[in-house]
Structure 1
Amino acid sequence: MVNASRVQITVLRGREHERREIRDLLATRAGGALLLHGEPGAGRTALLAYAHRHADGRTLLAGTGVPDEAPLPYAGLQRLLDPVLDRAAALPERQRQVLRRALAGEGCPEADRLALSMAVLGLLAAVTRDRPLLCTMDDVDLGDTPTARTVAFVARRLRHLPVTLLLTAGSDIGAAGIPHRRLLPLDDHDSHALLADRRPGPRPPAPVLAALATIADGNPQALVDLADTLTPGQWHGQEPLPSAPPPDGGLARAYRSLLARLPGDTRCVLLLAALAADAAPGTLARAPGSTGGTPVPVEAATLAGAVRAVGNSVAALTPVEAAGLVRVDPQGDVIFPRPLARSMVQATASLAERRAAHLLLAGALDASGHRLRRALHRAAAADGPDPALAVELERAAASGEDGWDTAATALSRAADLSDDPVRAATRRVTAARYAWSAGQPDRARALLSALPSAPAAPADLLAAPPAASAAAAVTGGADLLRGEMQLRCGPPAVALPTLMAAATALAGTDRTTALVALVRAGEAICFSGDQYRYAEVARRVAALRRDGDPPPAELMTALVAGVAATLRGEHGQGGPLLRRAVVLGGRLTNAVVSPTALTGAAVAGLLVAVDAAAHRLADRAVDLARSRGELSVLPRAFELRAMAEYWLGRHDAAVESCRDGLRVARATGQHTCAGVHLGLLAVLAAVRADRAACLRQVAEIGDTAAPDSRPYALAQWALAVLDLVDGRYADAADRLTALARPGTGRGQVLVQVMATPHLVEAAVHVGRHAQARAALAVFDRWAGSTASPSRRALSARCHALLAPRGSVEAEEQFRTALRLHPADAATFERARTELLFGRDLRRSRRPRDARDHLHRARQTFTLLGAQVWAEQATTELRAAGESVGAPDRPAEQLLTGQQLRIAHLVASGATNREVATQMFLSTRTVDHHLRNIFHRLGIRSRTELARVLG
């Protein structure tokens, strides 16, 4: 018997609800019980230790279920009660005798079980005469069954005794009538905190913390094992991380102990299920936002075939299904609810057991229908080089039909099985490319880090040019991939020398891939704000150009040459080249096109202001990347689609594209792309005068964006628009002027050109007409080279602002702008022009003429939900002598014709899919319109919509 006292409380991350329940139980004078259950390593024992530290003078009895004593009835009960058996004298004689016989190993007849249980309850009551009691039993399910049954009986009858009974087990089986709580995985925040607690000192980079949290799957013991075994290089992100917790850690020991108690046929079938899950289609991360916590299914037919080969059946999994390690659905599919359990089943098996299981699974798979999965199982059982199997893996993985992550595994294993160093290095680079396509940059970096410093090649290159070419191709391919990941995931300026080196290495062996490297180098230049360096990229692309190039190569050369001319301000030369790139992109069929080619054509379309074509190309790139599972391309494709939607005036759609792009960028570690999406979201929020949303996005960008970088420029543009809304015109002009430095080729020239209408408006208000005219001259040279009415409308509006207030020139330019604004798009910019024109007329003492423009502006802003701008129009109307109240109009006036028809169909009970079919629209388009309908009507549900429409 131990008298518990308060001790220093150690940190226990997460488990707030469980700790609160324990404290509440200990705080009450009445009795109560709680069963904590969960997977191995979930922290059950740590919570019992937490209870011990908070016992506050209670008598403490603590026991543990011991697997070695499981065959001995009441062995666990004897160990638990031994400190207080001297109190048994207070029990009735029969109860005392039954208790003594049971604890002495003489057993307990069925007829005496109730008497024994009542004796234990009475013994605990006797102990509480001095002080309240805390009784804990860890791993109650691992010890002998009679003890577990007796303790459960007692746990249900503590209401009137000052006894707190805490139990832990792997599952809640046998816990009927006992309050219980399952220990869920820790969230990312608590996982990161636990890792930092375990390794004091500087925290590792955020990607390392995120990767470790994913590997551990929220399991506290897995996190501890990882933190204790990582090298300093791994901890600081300089070396590849392991793919699973260590096989000799605490979690692995717990799983070995658990599995050792299972029947042999159960262990065999469980290992087969765990290994079959590696190649199951359901394990592939084909969609944005998927995580390592997704349940892992095992194809029933494959597993059943392998199980039959050893004379077992899936029914052998009943014990582990009862323990919660797996689920078997009615179709026979085996599902691992926690992927970590699958990993530990594999890790704790012997090499011989794993090889035998892989061979059984390979034999159960059809060679034609499951070519890659069959080859992967054969490769996992191989011992030593096997060139023929390596070729089979390479060919089977090429299509990517089983997912790029599975293809990466196949090529990595093919490299291990290769007997030619250069061939092995080539396959490893391809594996890294596949991993990157799957959105796994850390895995791709780990594969590249396994390459030798220089692939083996003959010293005499002239004597063996094929070997030299192969070595150069490996080096160039590896540098291209490194540079692309640096561009998307880190500071773009770091990527430039890597990409230029890749182009050099590839120029003599693979001209098309060398062009890809140079296109990426150009992106790095534009993202980092060093446009003056683009000329070198253009020169090298021109040197690689050949007459009769295939369309993808011609598209890239036209794009780079067009961008270079545009950055020089030579729009007459650059425009035709960029339009040619747009045309080529539109002609490419899905059989030969890549999402990368489509994004290049979309860039060209935005630069020559063919917004609808740019949107089609970017949208096609999104759909193609999704269908092929190429997650690495999606953030860039979403960015370009959002930009096209911005220019088309579809601000709500642009926000959705940015949110989708941001989600994928974060899930795939593309921090640069995430910053761009945050910047675009900030601009979109600022344009709509949504201050809170804008500042939130800018704060998320924080100090991670370098000055002159694209995210930094977008953030500054957004803040400048807020300055403009609030009347801080000088601040707005200063921010926008600082975005780029014309004549030096530094800064974000393209962002500054896009922001020119805001710059001119701000500069004019503070009398900086020269500054405004200089910026407008650059904008006019670009807008004038396009056929875009919307760009010319913005130019005319800027010229109107620069003209003397109330002058004929100002009025003509405003009317030109209104004539050029497309009637079916960019309605927000038309409303802004109406507001500025009405303000100019009102200040020129023409209030009657101003009112029509201000009314139209107010109406449009109200329809678009741009409340701040609507209020500005209202203020101007009142200044013009109009008495204006809050808008209160029926839905017919607030919705467009198409929106009104959709609203009536939905209100009548039609689903989004039914509306899409009836109106010949996509379901996504209907979803988009319905969100806008809810926003404009100020409602949140279909029920409210039906009520509004009567």
Structure 2
Amino acid sequence: MVLWGREREQAQIDALLAQARGGRSGSLILRGEPGIGKSALLDHAARSAEGMRPLRGTGIETEAELPFAALHLLLRPALDRIGRLPAPQARALEGAFGLATAPEDRFLIGLAALSLLTELAEDGPLLCLVDDAQWMDRSSAEALLFAARRLHSEGIALLFAARDAFHAPGVPELRLEGLDPQAAGDLLREHTPGLGPGVRERILAESGGNPLALIELPRMPGSPHHAQEPLPLPRRIQEAYEARIAVLPPGSQTMLLVAALDDAGDLDVVVRAAGRLGVDAAALGPAERAGFLSTAGGRLSFGHPLMRTAAARRATYDERLAVHRALAGVLDDDQDADRRAWHLAAAVTGRDEPIAAALEQAAGRARERAGHAAAAAALERAARLTPGLAERARRLALSAEAAADAGALEHAQVLADQARRLGDDPRTLARLAGLRGRIAFDRGAVQEAHRILLDGAAAIAGLDRKGAALLLLDAVRNAWYVSDPAAVAESSARLAGLPLTAEDGLDGFVRAARAMADFLAGDLDRALPPFRELVALAAAIPSGMTALRISICSLAGISGDFGNGLAIARSAIEECRADGMIGLLPLAQAVLAIHQMYLGRFRDAVTTATEGRRLATDIGQTHRIAHFESVMAMVAAVQGRERDCRELAERTIAHVGGHPVATIVGWAEWALGLLDLGQGRFEAALERFDAAARGPLRHQIMPVYFAPDQIEAAVRLGLPGRAAGPLARFESWAGAARHPWAEAVLHRCRALLATGDAEAERHWEQAVRSHADANRPFERARTDLLFGEWLRRARRKNEARTHLRSALETFERAGAAPWAERARAELRAAGEAVAQGAPDLAASLSPQELQVVRLAATGVTNREIAAQLFLSPKTVSHHLYRAFPKLGVTTRTELARLDLG
């Protein structure tokens, strides 16, 4: 079949297929207006897929509210292989398709879809074609795009055809434009060879090169292409189809309407529903011969999506109601309950509580399968059918929550506002307050969010103390993020005033909220002990409370207990991976990366942050992206990668400028100051640290942690007076925190500021002793470097060299180039020739290669590694293939003998 004027597009598709046959994967979106030739190019791909197994699916407009309908259609030929997937993924996919109860994490379902496609590709290269992607239900689209962004070395080609409404960040796309005049003329001549010159020129002019218009306009009864006024192209094409439907027998027109309003392409359902309307199966014949319908494989499909639209649009309101009733009447199995509820809802003309209740039940089932967008739509429709105002408001509130969970915050706000106007039930209003507060905070309306939450809690304090407490905890958290001491104190005081009991299970949260208020008020002696108590209790928290464990990990970071924080974060990540909680995983990875950074495990921090950023990008957690990039900026600063550091930090600061979360910007500001300090730009470093400590960050932990850097910059500039404030700040915190590493760093700062040699030496020696009990090698190396410099200036070169060698070794292992160069310079000045250190094997690997290699060294299989890292087993194999030569090994068993940092 010739596709006139699409040589470039066909070549790109052919290259994608050849790549898949060669073992590499790829995805592509064909994007353009209706009729532009997207489906024809998918057909070309199917015809060209010699040696490949094809899977084909499509988005159906009437199925857009049914969660995972499109994904089920695409993967139906592979369902017998679900049992081969890792257990959490198998459960998730079975739940998505209504075969079991699923974890409420739609991205785990995306990983399961990737694994299932990879499983099929084990038999040979795979071609997946998805037409009308803009009409896929949101859950299916998210799952397939999640998988598409992770394709690498599986031998899979994934092609989408979509209009502009299909949002797919991170997936390559090819936009289809109208055919050029030569190709348009050739196509018109092929399909309608006998047109007169005038008509031909008019069609060529008005079609805009749209292939479907070139084919359909000449077929319109009455030659509408002679009309004087041009019509918008999609409408013109649709009207051409409507005119062709009008000449079919009445029974065939009815059959087309039933097929158009059905949402599954089930031939048996369509025929039985048509039978209820007095039309028998023979009516399919004229529609099929006219090219409107195909019954291949026992399923009904339309020749073009606009044919379905035209069949539904030309029917009268009464005709559509009758068809929906007929379809509801034949969908009598339990597994068809959701479809039946939607058809009943479409057939009713007024309020109807039983149908509204059925839709609410359908929404519940959708949420169990992580179909939040579908749940929102079902609940919104249920609310419209609900007779009572209070019950209508409740369903609208539930719909708003589901819409927010699906990421549709603007629509969630509209629904929430409607619900508020309808009802006055305190519990419903409180539920709405939590949602409205969340939306307002995400939009940057911080004060409005705070007031909404406080008012909502006050409204239900006498009716639902736990519900009120949860709203106040949200208020505390929001105020903490934006570093508002007064707001944290107000929320915490109200929380403490609620008559909570042990049965509410919130005692630890209440203590933490009070401690957060104390911390922002500067009362560290009262703030840190409750933090330490919660950290000590973290190990006893039962599984299933992962979010609480992550919150406690953050408190460990504030109290300086990085070792326990690291263990808690790892535990939380293991739970997220095991239970498929992908939505929570980026937060756990963020706190892990921060603790790795604090502990000087910079390579680990970048590895964690790289994986976390990729996942957060996929699932739209923009705050987490900024979080990871601020950590990566810190590591770039330590390693002297100036361009990377500035780019990452400035991007984070710009993000926070529109989303006022002070905690995230702290690391970015610190990174820029540390970069200047490491490069010897002491004045710039001091100015940045001083400005950050005076700004919104002044109440947070970051000014405490960068105070030693601030002090060093001031001393280097000969301005010890400007170190007094930072010293007092760190001294107060270190005394309350009581960690050996903090004591060591405090003595280092005092040594730098000492006015006499004896005083300085006493502090240097105490710093070294305290470091022996601490696990922060980078801070220990900085102390050794500064002490070595002091000893060299005191002409105690032998002692100096001992500390400088130790510092150099640590800096080289950390990749901290500016600091290592300073240590080398000091060693040379102390009279020692410095040889270049041994090559760092792990530094030659990408972050993902390092992750894969470390896991492989423990003996786990590629399939197990893939499940942990949200990759396919073939991608894992590809990373190992690339890593082995870099490491100088040929087998997995050799990995265990390597030092991989």
CA distance in 1, matches of 2:549, 2:290: 48
Cα deviation, residue 600, structure 1: 3.3
Q: Note if contact 2:400-2:413 (Cα within 8 Å) is conserved in structure 1.
A: yes
Question: Alpha carbons of 1:491 and 1:811: their partners in 2 closer, same or farther (altered >3 Å)?
Answer: same
- Equivalent residue for 1:606? 557
CA distance in 2, matches of 1:780, 1:337: 75
Aligned pairs for 1:90-105 (under 5 A) are none
- Equivalent residue for 1:390? 356
- Equivalent residue for 2:819? 869
Cα deviation, residue 557, structure 1: 0.9
Is 1:483–2:437 an aligned residue pair?
A: yes
Is 1:879–2:829 an aligned residue pair?
A: yes
Q: Given the two structures, how large is their TM-score scaled by the length of structure 1?
A: 0.61
Aligned pairs for 1:394-543 (under 5 A) are 394-398=360-364, 400-403=367-370, 404-453=372-421, 455-457=422-424, 470=425, 472-543=426-497
Cα deviation, residue 542, structure 1: 0.7
- Alpha-carbon deviations, 1:160-189, whole Å to 9, x = none? xxxxxxxxxxxxxxxxxxxxxxxxxxxxxx
Cα deviation, residue 702, structure 1: 5.3
- Alpha-carbon deviations, 1:692-739, whole Å to 9, x = none? 122112332455544993444333222111111121223222322332
CA distance in 2, matches of 1:666, 1:792: 39
One of 751, 756, 765 as aligned partner of 2:716: 765
CA distance in 1, matches of 2:593, 2:787: 29
- Alpha-carbon deviations, 1:192-222, whole Å to 9, x = none? xxxxxxxxxxxxxxxxxxxxxxxxxxxxxxx
What residue ranges of structure 2 are gaps of 5+ in the alignment? 1-5, 13-34, 40-161, 165-173, 220-230, 275-279, 895-901
- Equivalent residue for 1:75? 194
CA distance in 1, matches of 2:601, 2:697: 31
Aligned pairs for 1:125-274 (under 5 A) are 138-139=209-210, 251=234, 253-255=236-238, 257=240
Question: Alpha carbons of 1:906 and 1:741: their partners in 2 closer, same or farther (altered >3 Å)?
Answer: closer
One of 801, 805, 809 as aligned partner of 1:855: 805
- Alpha-carbon deviations, 1:913-932, whole Å to 9, x = none? 25968xxx9844999xx99x
Cα deviation, residue 322, structure 1: 10
Question: Alpha carbons of 1:654 and 1:925: their partners in 2 closer, same or farther (altered >3 Å)?
Answer: farther
Question: Alpha carbons of 1:768 and 1:880: their partners in 2 closer, same or farther (altered >3 Å)?
Answer: same
Question: Alpha carbons of 1:480 and 1:818: their partners in 2 closer, same or farther (altered >3 Å)?
Answer: same
For 2:491, give the aligned amino acid: V
CA distance in 1, matches of 2:290, 2:580: 33
CA distance in 2, matches of 1:676, 1:345: 50
CA distance in 2, matches of 1:491, 1:657: 31
Q: Note if contact 2:535-2:555 (Cα within 8 Å) is conserved in structure 1.
A: yes
More moved, 257-266 vs 695-704: 257-266
More helix by share: 2
Cα deviation, residue 421, structure 1: 1.3
Question: Alpha carbons of 1:434 and 1:138: their partners in 2 closer, same or farther (altered >3 Å)?
Answer: closer
Cα deviation, residue 560, structure 1: 0.4
- Equivalent residue for 2:884? 942
- Equivalent residue for 2:518? 565
Question: Alpha carbons of 1:905 and 1:136: their partners in 2 closer, same or farther (altered >3 Å)?
Answer: closer
Question: Alpha carbons of 1:923 and 1:80: their partners in 2 closer, same or farther (altered >3 Å)?
Answer: same
Q: Note if contact 1:422-1:456 (Cα within 8 Å) is conserved in structure 2.
A: yes
For 2:410, give the aligned amino acid: D
CA distance in 2, matches of 1:865, 1:557: 42
For 1:523, give the aligned amino acid: R
Question: Alpha carbons of 1:137 and 1:652: their partners in 2 closer, same or farther (altered >3 Å)?
Answer: same
Cα deviation, residue 144, structure 1: 6.9
- Alpha-carbon deviations, 1:828-854, whole Å to 9, x = none? 444334333333333333333233333
- Equivalent residue for 1:212? none
- Equivalent residue for 2:66? none
- Equivalent residue for 1:577? 530
Is 1:737–2:679 an aligned residue pair?
A: no
- Equivalent residue for 1:178? none
Q: Note if contact 2:437-2:452 (Cα within 8 Å) is conserved in structure 1.
A: yes
Q: Note if contact 2:261-2:312 (Cα within 8 Å) is conserved in structure 1.
A: yes
More moved, 390-399 vs 841-850: 390-399
- Equivalent residue for 1:727? 680
Q: How many residues align?
A: 702
- Equivalent residue for 1:688? 639
Cα deviation, residue 540, structure 1: 0.6
CA distance in 2, matches of 1:703, 1:750: 21
Is 1:913–2:861 an aligned residue pair?
A: yes
One of 767, 771, 776 as aligned partner of 1:818: 771
- Equivalent residue for 2:591? 640
- Alpha-carbon deviations, 1:759-797, whole Å to 9, x = none? 232223223434434323333433343464444444344
CA distance in 1, matches of 2:764, 2:306: 69
Is 1:756–2:707 an aligned residue pair?
A: yes
Q: Give the secondary-structure state (helix, strand or coil) at the position aligned to 1:775.
A: helix
For 2:423, give the aligned amino acid: A
What residue ranges of structure 1 are gaps of 5+ in the alignment? 1-14, 22-34, 84-132, 149-247, 278-297, 458-469
Cα deviation, residue 529, structure 1: 2.8
CA distance in 2, matches of 1:615, 1:758: 23
Question: Alpha carbons of 1:16 and 1:588: their partners in 2 closer, same or farther (altered >3 Å)?
Answer: farther
For 1:533, give the aligned amino acid: A
**Matched-pair identity in %:** 28
CA distance in 2, matches of 1:273, 1:840: 85
Q: Give the secondary-structure state (helix, strand or coil) at the position aligned to 2:772.
A: helix
CA distance in 1, matches of 2:305, 2:644: 37
RMSD, aligned CA = 5.6
CA distance in 1, matches of 2:234, 2:175: 13
Q: Give the secondary-structure state (helix, strand or coil) at the position aligned to 2:800.
A: helix
For 2:352, give the aligned amino acid: D
Q: Give the secondary-structure state (helix, strand or coil) at the position aligned to 2:688.
A: helix
- Alpha-carbon deviations, 1:789-816, whole Å to 9, x = none? 4444443443443345684223313312
CA distance in 2, matches of 1:713, 1:562: 20
CA distance in 2, matches of 1:415, 1:860: 64
For 2:712, give the aligned amino acid: E
- Alpha-carbon deviations, 1:279-330, whole Å to 9, x = none? xxxxxxxxxxxxxxxxxxx6x8x776556655779x999989999x9999x9
Question: Alpha carbons of 1:145 and 1:17: their partners in 2 closer, same or farther (altered >3 Å)?
Answer: closer
Question: Alpha carbons of 1:134 and 1:710: their partners in 2 closer, same or farther (altered >3 Å)?
Answer: same
One of 769, 782, 794 as aligned partner of 1:832: 782
- Equivalent residue for 2:796? 846
Q: Note if contact 2:841-2:886 (Cα within 8 Å) is conserved in structure 1.
A: no
Cα deviation, residue 942, structure 1: 3.5
Q: Note if contact 1:837-1:850 (Cα within 8 Å) is conserved in structure 2.
A: yes
Question: Alpha carbons of 1:945 and 1:546: their partners in 2 closer, same or farther (altered >3 Å)?
Answer: same
Question: Alpha carbons of 1:529 and 1:618: their partners in 2 closer, same or farther (altered >3 Å)?
Answer: same
Cα deviation, residue 652, structure 1: 3.9
CA distance in 1, matches of 2:750, 2:347: 74
Q: Given the two structures, how large is their TM-score scaled by the length of structure 2?
A: 0.64
